[in-house]
Amino acid sequence: MDSRYREGIQERTRVQLDVKGTVQGVGFRPFVYRLAERLGVSGFVRNIMGEVIVEAEGTNDQIKAFVYQLRHDPTPPIRVNHIRVTRLPISHDAYFTIEASKEDGAGEGGFPTDLATCMECMQDIHNPHSKYYRYPFTSCTSCGPRYSVLRKIPYDREHTTFKSFPLCESCRSEYIDPFDRRFHAQTLTCPHCGPAIEYRSSVRSFVSSEALLASSEALREGRILAVKGIGGFHFICDATQEQAIHNLRIRKRRPRKPFALMARDLNDVENLFVVTAAERQALTGPEAPIVLLKPKEHAKQLLPLLAIAPGLIRIGVFLPYTPLHHILISEGSGWFVATSGNASGHPMTYRNDDALSGLRGIADGLLLHSRDIAVPIDDSVGHVVDQEFRLIRSARGYVPVPLRIPLPPALYAHGHPDVIGIGAEMKNTCCLIKNGVAYVSQHLGDMDTNEDLVFHRQVRDHMMQLFDISPEIIAYDPHPNYAISQEGLTGKPIDQYPVLHHHAHMAACMVENELDNPVIGCILDGSGYGADGSVWGFEVLTGDFNNFRRIRSLHPLLLPGGEAAIRNPWMIGISLIDAATHDRHTTLRYITKRFPQYSKHFPILFAQLTGKLPSPRVSSAGRLFDGVSAILGICMESTYEGEAALQLSELADPFAEQPGDDEDRGDVYPFEIVEERWDVTPTIRSLLIDLDNRLPTSLIVLKFHRTVAAMVTEGVRAASNETGIRQVVLSGGVWNNRYLLSDAKRRLLREGFTVYTHRTMPSGDGGISLGQAVCGLWRWAKEHVLIGTCDSDRSR
């Protein structure tokens, strides 16, 4: 054949592309369609479970360009993780089409998360000439509810709660127009065919635009509203009105726990808060999390900061992420207090009937809408440490994102059972594993009541249905008093693997950082059930997914009153002073000066300290921080979990941003190592001397934080000397402490260790379920997989 002919006329080729990543519910199929049209490629695109299948036909150059641009041209929130290319016979398709979804397939891809309102839809909302003007449910392929409305996959309208709202002719024309940004937008509706809103108070009821006007008026008058959003209800009030915030605290029985602020736009945030580049990126991303920010000095002239976040330097701030929020906040002061819409001790409210019956004692009015929520989901919370955004609470916008896990080598050649990790009792999540991919649920809160357990079961059942998972392995915390573990073990018999709390913490950080070799784990948190049956919480471990060994730990602290001491850090403070002085007269002198308001309780406290009355001992970083916080007069009584430690850490926060090496940041307190345990009695003795010498509290706090970082470094050094391991993971809720994390990392890196931390998974108990599930799978593999052979016939 003539070479000119070969160059001028290329042979046609057809390929199948299996695309995985965040490719459903984010406008990926319309993107593929428009790309094919532009390049002259024929074929089709189709959703199959959690991935997208594309068949593309054209010349070799067209197909190469098509595949290249599929990989590299999508814009967020689309994320292409992997494309598998398979050659197919030519079909001679004339066009490129979007085919109906199929419900078979492995379901291993990314699933659509709830996305904040995009700029184009915001412009529609504020454009009087648009049919979406002031429409509370405006969305397109780039924004709107996704996971919270999804009942099953693949992600199509008939599988969402929008099934109840058939498209009108106008919306239908947008839906089928491949060059409209609402082409195949599954959440598309307008005022003629979409959900309705309704305002209700004890005296009146309004619908549609009148409901918006009534709500805005109520907020301006200082009233509290319960507003239904994407994943549930918020309590909202005007953040510039201190009395409204005070009323909300009283009604919700939340005396000091911080509230979050919703701001009208980024300009308003930057006017009142210090915002770094990384914080700005997090605030304005499609996930729209709550970001902890430091207010500027003049912010207190507009906002009652002490009422919003008592005792804290940083305040949670986020931007409106639904059209309804945008409309309401644009007509008020530009600042709302927004907090989860639930009564104290109850799960998040997300059904209209439950809100009408359960929230009226807190809210003056309710702003409802008729679109159902398939699964409730709270707001995500995070902060920036060392110029990197890290999640403290993972929920809306970040869930459910698939996480590929390290597998035991033998399992790469064999299938394995589905797994569920039940999670911890506090800050609970659950985790499911299928085909080497983990899906961690949204933050579910504390599992204190039967209502919480029902909520947990509902969420995990929803996830099992979505991902077509039937767990054959359950991993759980063996704490004998964890109701969530006991509830999870009921039902049909399956393989059960207890995973200790701090082992799960270490494993979760390993998974997130794709580690499967042995590591040194520095686990600092409030409390967790230990291997010896006592309470742990300040540990240096070595191990992997199968086993671990404790190398260092805090010498156990006496916890007078047991659980009562967690709510009363002054009791821990007295215990620390008594252990440090070894002299009752000296102890009395200090505690009479530091805790005079509790003097009537001293006799019973001393009975516990001397052993006349029983008290538990704990190895807990959280309790150590609580006690020091009380000694320094920062927080005597905690009204929410971790309050004392959080307020202590806030005083060290400014030092985290100051340049300079460790040597420039002051000295550390002494500590001793006794029988492989850190003894902090010298630390407390020296701290009391600094108090006597009137050293500024901020400098004492700094020295204490540096001391804890030095203890961690010593423990890691000892573990490495013993094992040769140089990889270190940091996990546990205490690592949410910004200064401690920065200082400890700096010290470890300076000694040549490789340090891994959490970013997309919470370092607190929200990551426990992931660690449980992966440890359970590895232990199952160790018991069942024999030199490349899967023993699936093990008797139960």
Q: What is the model's pLDDT at position 48?
A: 77
Block residue for tokens 């998040």: 348
Block residue for tokens 């736009």: 265
> What ranges in 693-767 are assigned the alpha helix state H?
697-723, 738-750
Is residue 150 within 8 A of residue 162, CB to CB? The reply is no
Q: What is Dmax (Cα atoms) for the chain?
A: 106
Block residue for tokens 């505690």: 591
pTM of the model: 0.91
Closest among 623, 480, 615, 609 to 538, alpha carbons compared: 623
Q: Enter the CATH code of domain 197-382.
A: 3.90.870.10
C-alpha Rg value of the chain to the nearest Å: 28
Mean pLDDT, the chain, as a whole number?
91
Give the integer Cα–Cα distance in Å for 620 and 611: 20
In the sheet that 403-404 helps form, which strands lie side by side, from edge to edge? 403-404, 437-440, 431-434, 419-421, 473-476, 495-498
| Alpha-carbon distances, residue 491 vs 303, 712, 713 (angstroms) | 51, 42, 45
Residues of the chain with CATH 3.30.70.100: 3-98
SS3 45: strand
Q: How much is the average pLDDT of 733-762?
A: 97
Cis check: omega of the bond before 323, within 30 degrees of 0? no
Q: What is the model's pLDDT at position 103?
A: 59
Q: What is the model's pLDDT at position 208?
A: 82
Tokens of 591: 């505690």
Cis check: omega of the bond before 154, within 30 degrees of 0? yes
Give the integer Cα–Cα distance in Å for 552 and 538: 8
| Alpha-carbon distances, residue 213 vs 134, 331, 369 (angstroms) | 11, 9, 15
Q: What is the model's pLDDT at position 788?
A: 43
Res. 390 pLDDT band, cuts 50 70 90: very high
Q: What is the model's pLDDT at position 11?
A: 84
Res. 467 pLDDT band, cuts 50 70 90: confident
| CATH fold group of domain 554-756 | Nucleotidyltransferase; domain 5 (3.30.420)
Residues of the chain with CATH 3.90.870.10: 197-382
Q: Out of 38-52, 155-169, 346-360, 622-636, which region has the weakest mean confidence (pLDDT)?
A: 38-52
Angle of the 501-512 helix axis to the 768-784 helix axis, nearest 10: 90
Buried b (16+ CB within 10 A) or exposed e, 159-176: bbbbeebebbeebeebbe
> Mind listing the pLDDT tens digit for each residue in 269-307?
999 999 999 999 999 999 999 999 999 999 999 999 999
Angle of the 738-750 helix axis to the 643-652 helix axis, nearest 10: 60
Name, in order, each residue with C-beta under 8 angstroms of 286's C-beta and a sequence gap of 6 or more: 76, 77, 115, 116, 118, 142, 143, 397
Q: What is the model's pLDDT at position 2?
A: 42
Percentage of the chain lying above the pLDDT 90 cut: 79
| Alpha-carbon distances, residue 640 vs 56, 624, 733 (angstroms) | 57, 17, 15
Residue 292: left if φ>0, alpha if ψ -120 to 50, beta else—which one?
Answer: beta
Q: What is the model's pLDDT at position 206?
A: 86
Give the integer Cα–Cα distance in Å for 432 and 773: 7
Res. 96 pLDDT band, cuts 50 70 90: very high
CATH class of this structure's domain 3-98: alpha beta
Q: How much is the average pLDDT of 643-668?
A: 78
Give the integer Cα–Cα distance in Å for 505 and 522: 9
Q: What is the model's pLDDT at position 790?
A: 39
Residues of the chain with CATH 3.30.420.360: 400-498+764-790
Give the integer Cα–Cα distance in Å for 93 and 556: 73
Residue 664 has pLDDT above 70, yes or no: no
> What ranges in 331-449 are assigned the alpha helix state H?
352-358
Residue 787 has pLDDT above 50, yes or no: no
Q: What is the dihedral of CA 279, 285, 287, 293, to 10 degrees?
A: 20
Q: How much is the average pLDDT of 340-369?
A: 93
Residues designated catalytic: 29, 47
Q: How much is the average pLDDT of 677-686?
A: 98
Task: Give φ, ψ of 727 to 5 degrees.
Answer: -95, 130
SS3 360: coil
Task: Give φ, ψ of 230 to 5 degrees.
Answer: -70, -50
Strands 548-554 vs 677-679: parallel, antiparallel or unpaired: parallel
Q: What is the model's pLDDT at position 487?
A: 87
Q: How much is the average pLDDT of 588-611?
A: 94
Residue 413 has pLDDT above 70, yes or no: no
Q: What is the model's pLDDT at position 796?
A: 29
Is residue 143 within 8 A of residue 116, CB to CB? The reply is yes
Amino acid, res. 541: L
Name, in order, each residue with C-beta under 8 angstroms of 390's C-beta and a sequence gap of 6 or more: 382, 383, 384, 757, 758, 759, 763
Buried b (16+ CB within 10 A) or exposed e, 673-684: eeeebbbbbebb
Q: Enter the CATH code of domain 400-498+764-790.
A: 3.30.420.360
SS3 275: coil
Long-range contacts, stretch 448-452, CB < 8 angstroms, 24+ apart: 448/345, 449/345, 449/346, 451/346, 451/347, 452/347
> Mind listing the pLDDT tens digit for each residue in 223-263?
999 999 999 999 999 999 999 999 999 999 999 999 999 99
Residues of the chain with CATH 3.30.420.40: 554-756
Residue 789 has pLDDT above 50, yes or no: no
| Alpha-carbon distances, residue 630 vs 527, 643, 737 (angstroms) | 18, 11, 17
